[in-house]
């Protein structure tokens, strides 16, 4: 148990208009902060008014990207409660990321306690309009000021919160995907399974290229042969081919998504065949699309929940998926997951935690 000191703001900010929240642009009145120093461990857990950080320009995070982060949401139910979705999964994944990044681990129960404490103090900031949420961003940074390449001797763990708008303005909206055959996102032994800023920095060039060509996301192929499909943008990816739901295995190069795991559980309980072991090659995928056997494609992640794919471009060829329309399984997963998250549906899995 953390002993969290609370320093409330004396100048609460005006609340942004719920109709134009967007994503990650507004921040609440408070933030959670905890420090780490070698020999002392994590200490001084506290909630403070939201403020800019003071960092030495030589802080290791600014040069060598020793950092880790998480992404999760707090939801407002119709009867006014505030809930989290499987926060212990984020806590466990954060611990795994921190091990890979040589950042001292934060006990899983302390991570959940910190997130809940911030949501509790900024409870009024959890928006009430349909499909809005309070996006939560826990993260850890290396703060030691020195330019040698080595793990930092000091860190900060922070949690900030951002009221965010509905991802879809008017129903699920299938996106066009560019299959990236030049840049890669991950390779065996690297950090693909970890949620760290470096993965995102390395993905920007591919993202920009796809955007410039009129596509909204990149489909990443494996980093060794550029042959097997792995993830789409910053989401896990599912393909329904010949009645089987396929997704890449989490064997080091794929981020183990909470939404991915939840979708696989739902699909199996609905009697669907899910294959998360057999690698799917881009040639097999394009062939399935050409011959009408590619039934649905969708990405999964906390921000969009489910993102249908309506078109794929790979090496000069464009193939439609379901004529650009959202598939039935895609829609059912979206309705069920958001139904459980917002308390409209029963929660038979015990996924929802009240704050």
Ligand X SMILES: *Cc1c(COP(=O)(O)O)cnc(C)c1O
Binding footprint of ligand X on the chain (CB under 6 A): 71, 195, 231, 234-236, 255, 257-260, 300-302
User: What would the two tokens of residue 293 be?
Assistant: 């056997």
Closest CB to ligand X among 106 and 306?
Answer: 306
Q: Which residue lies nearer to ligand X by CB, 16 or 96?
A: 96
The position carrying tokens 């997963």 is 333
CB 233 within 8 A of CB 207: yes
Least distance from ligand X to the Cβ atom of residue 109, Å: 19
Closer CB to ligand X, 30 or 86, in the complex: 86
Token code pair at residue 261 = 């795991």
Q: How far is CA 278 from CA 20, 22, 228, 255, in A?
A: 42, 37, 10, 17
Of 259 and 311, nearer to ligand X (C-beta) is: 259
CB of 207 or CB of 259, closer to ligand X = 259
Q: Which is nearer to ligand X, 59 or 306 (CB)?
A: 306
132: its two tokens: 């809005």
- How many DSSP H helices and E strands does the chain contain? 7, 18
- As measured in angstroms, the least distance from the Cβ of 178 to ligand X is 16
The residue among 156 and 300 lying less far from ligand X, judged by its C-beta, is: 300
Structure tokens at 204: 């920007």
Provide the angle, in degrees to the nearest 10, between the axes of the packed helices 258-269 and 87-100. 130
Eight-state DSSP code of residue 256: -
Q: Where are the beta strands (DSSP E) in 97-198?
A: 133-142, 154-164, 175-180
H helical segments located in the chain: 60-64, 87-100, 108-121, 197-212, 258-269, 282-290, 328-341
Residue 206, classed as helix, strand or coil, is helix
Which element (helix H / strand E) includes 101? none
What is the nearest approach in angstroms of ligand X to the Cβ of residue 261? 8
Residues 6+ apart with CB under 8 A from 214: 176
- Shortest Cβ distance from residue 263 to ligand X (Å)? 9
Minimal distance in Å, beta carbon 150 to ligand X? 26
**Residue whose structure tokens are 């990816």:** 237
C-beta of 71: minimal distance to ligand X in Å? 5
Least distance CB 118 / ligand X (angstroms): 18
Tell me the CB-side half-sphere exposure of residue 205, using CA atoms within 13 A. Answer: 8
Alpha-carbon torsion 109, 114, 117, 123, what sign? negative
Q: How far is the CB of 133 from ligand X (least distance, A)?
A: 12
Distance separating alpha carbons of residues 314 and 122, to the nearest angstrom:
45
Asked if residues 242 and 273 have their Cβ atoms less than 8 Å apart, the reply is no
Task: State the minimum distance, in angstroms, from the CB of residue 233 to ligand X.
Answer: 8
Taking the least distance from each CB to ligand X, the nearer of 121 and 264 is: 264
* CB closer to ligand X, 141 vs 237: 237
């Amino acid at each position: 148990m953390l002993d969290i000191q609370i320093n409330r703001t004396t100048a609460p900010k005006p609340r942004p208009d719920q109709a134009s929240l967007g994503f990650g642009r507004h921040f609440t009145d408070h933030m959670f902060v905890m420090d780490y120093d070698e020999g002392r461990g994590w200490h001084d857990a506290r909630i403070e008014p939201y403020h800019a950080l003071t960092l030495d320009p030589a802080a290791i995070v600014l040069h060598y990207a020793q950092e880790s982060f998480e992404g999760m949401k707090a939801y407002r139910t119709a009867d006014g409660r505030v809930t989290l979705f499987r926060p212990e999964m984020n806590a466990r994944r954060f611990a795994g990321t921190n091990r890979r990044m040589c950042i001292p681990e934060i006990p899983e129960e302390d991570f959940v306690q910190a997130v809940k404490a911030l949501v509790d103090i900024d409870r009024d900031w959890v928006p009430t309009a349909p499909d809005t949420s309070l996006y939560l961003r826990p993260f850890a940074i290396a703060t030691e000021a020195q330019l040698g390449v080595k793990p930092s001797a000091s860190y900060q763990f922070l949690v900030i919160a951002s009221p965010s708008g509905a991802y879809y303005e008017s129903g699920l909206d299938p996106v066009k995907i560019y299959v990236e055959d030049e840049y890669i996102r991950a390779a065996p032994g690297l950090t693909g399974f970890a949620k760290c800023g470096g993965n995102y920095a390395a993905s920007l060039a591919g993202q920009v290229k796809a955007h410039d060509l009129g596509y909204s996301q990149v489909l990443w192929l494996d980093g060794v042969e550029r042959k097997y499909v792995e993830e789409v943008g910053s989401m896990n990816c599912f393909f329904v081919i010949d009645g089987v739901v396929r997704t890449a295995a989490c064997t080091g190069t794929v981020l183990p998504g909470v939404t991915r795991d939840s979708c696989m559980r739902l699909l199996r309980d609905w009697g669907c065949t899910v294959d998360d072991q057999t690698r799917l090659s881009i040639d097999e995928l394009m062939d399935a699309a050409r011959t009408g056997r590619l039934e649905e494609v969708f990405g999964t992640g906390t921000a969009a929940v489910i993102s249908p794919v309506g078109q794929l471009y790979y090496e000069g060829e464009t193939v439609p998926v379901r004529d650009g329309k959202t598939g039935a399984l895609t829609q059912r997963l979206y309705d069920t997951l958001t139904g459980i998250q917002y308390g409209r549906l029963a929660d038979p899995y015990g996924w929802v935690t009240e704050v």
